[in-house]
């Protein structure tokens, strides 16, 4: 009996101290793990993968939407699932911000995944981890690379409407603006070029590329003096899709060669001056030093090299300002903070 009491005297203070350490909020050093849900939800990856597969089979475009959802989440306060929150009690949703409104999609797919995970492992898997896994599975579903996903993120208690309007890159960004934007997230020019390759799948609305085809100030030297009519022909095709006014929601593929396949042809398009968005073409046209242009050529020449770099960069992006330990929460419904 005395021995048991002694153990309690030792264990209880240690437990209380451990709980105190977790509650202090200094969880930046709490790592993510590959097997984070091995005991608590062993089928998490199979459940997410299956639902992504179903969603992409129904609508191939959904693969790009899920990848973009992860990107837009991570660039605002970090990879914390804040983009999934609906407006509530004075908090304005990031969904309503300029870069996201009537544009970002895939929320219903995340809802479905969350439903099945709550059935299998209640109150266990975070919405932030669901977004990260779904992005990986979306890339794989379109023929892209596979990789292990570090897990253990927790969900934000708030959204940032202003952050979404500030930190998500614009389709008309200059190269200088893109570099600065990525640098704010702890990402370098290598990450910028590799992650831009996500535009090898998906589509964009007319409003996103109208400035690129009608604004004479956005024409590169090669486009202005197009002796072989290479650039003019492509621009005429885009103008037939997107007039100077009207048809704002008309869609065009980001990669006109293989729009539904994750490959390196996006970079070949850039080399030929046939990137859809202004923010794509500036990787070539505004790189005075040539370092970025060289990376574009490397990826255009080797799909394997692009895949390896993309994986490294998206894993790095997936670690931006993550909430771990006792930070945030595990939402029961990805659209709302737990009451």
Give me the active site residues, please.
Answer: 72
Q: How is 105-149 classified by DSSP, letter by letter?
A: --HHHHHHHHHHHHHHSTTTS-HHHHHHHHHHHHHHHTT------
Distance CA 59, CA 54 (A): 9
Q: How is 249-311 classified by DSSP, letter by letter?
A: T-EEESSSSSTTS-SSHHHHHHHTT--SSHHHHHHHHT-SSSHHHHHHHHHHH-HHHHHHHHH
CB-CB contact of 129 with 74 (8 Å): no
CB-CB contact of 328 with 338 (8 Å): no
Q: Torsions phi, psi of 63, nearest 5?
A: -60, -50
Distance CA 279, CA 201 (A): 16
CB count within 10 Å of CB 7 equals 10
203 pairs with which residues across the strands? 253
Buried b (16+ CB within 10 A) or exposed e, 87-108: eeeeebbbbebebbeebbbbbe
Distance CA 101, CA 255 (A): 23
Residues whose CB falls within 8 Å of the CB of residue 18, separated by 6 or more in sequence, listed in order? none
Residues whose CB falls within 8 Å of the CB of residue 3, separated by 6 or more in sequence, listed in order? none
CB-CB contact of 337 with 42 (8 Å): no
CB-CB contact of 72 with 83 (8 Å): yes
């Amino acid at each position: 009996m005395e021995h048991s009491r002694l153990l309690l005297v030792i264990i209880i203070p240690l437990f209380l101290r451990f709980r105190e350490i977790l509650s202090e909020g200094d969880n930046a050093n709490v790592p993510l793990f590959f097997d984070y849900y091995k005991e608590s939800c062993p089928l998490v990856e199979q459940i997410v993968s299956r639902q992504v597969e179903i969603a992409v089979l129904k609508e191939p475009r959904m693969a790009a939407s899920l990848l973009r959802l992860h990107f837009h989440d991570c660039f605002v306060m970090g990879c914390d699932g804040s983009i999934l929150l609906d407006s509530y009690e004075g908090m304005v949703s990031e969904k309503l911000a300029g870069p996201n409104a009537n544009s970002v999609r895939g929320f219903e797919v995340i809802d479905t995944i969350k439903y099945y995970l709550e059935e299998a492992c209640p109150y266990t898997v975070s919405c932030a981890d669901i977004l990260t896994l779904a992005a990986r599975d979306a890339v794989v579903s379109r023929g892209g690379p596979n990789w292990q996903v570090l897990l253990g993120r927790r969900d934000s208690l708030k959204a940032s409407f202003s952050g979404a309007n500030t930190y998500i890159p614009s389709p008309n960004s200059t190269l200088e603006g893109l570099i600065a934007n990525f640098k704010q997230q702890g990402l370098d020019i290598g990450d910028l070029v590799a992650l831009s390759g996500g535009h090898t799948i998906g589509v964009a609305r007319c409003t996103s590329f109208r400035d690129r085809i009608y604004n004479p100030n956005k024409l590169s030297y090669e486009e202005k003096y197009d002796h072989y009519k290479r650039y003019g022909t492509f621009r005429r095709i885009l103008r037939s899709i997107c007039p100077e006014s009207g048809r704002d929601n008309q869609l065009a593929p980001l990669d006109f060669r293989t729009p539904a396949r994750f490959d390196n042809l996006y970079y070949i398009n850039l080399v030929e001056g046939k990137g859809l968005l202004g923010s794509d073409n500036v990787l070539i046209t505004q790189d005075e030093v040539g370092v970025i242009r060289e990376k574009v050529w490397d990826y255009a020449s080797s799909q394997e090299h692009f895949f390896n770099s993309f994986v490294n960069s998206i894993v790095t992006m997936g670690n931006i300002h993550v909430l771990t330990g006792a930070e945030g929460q595990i939402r029961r419904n990805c659209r709302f903070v737990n009451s």
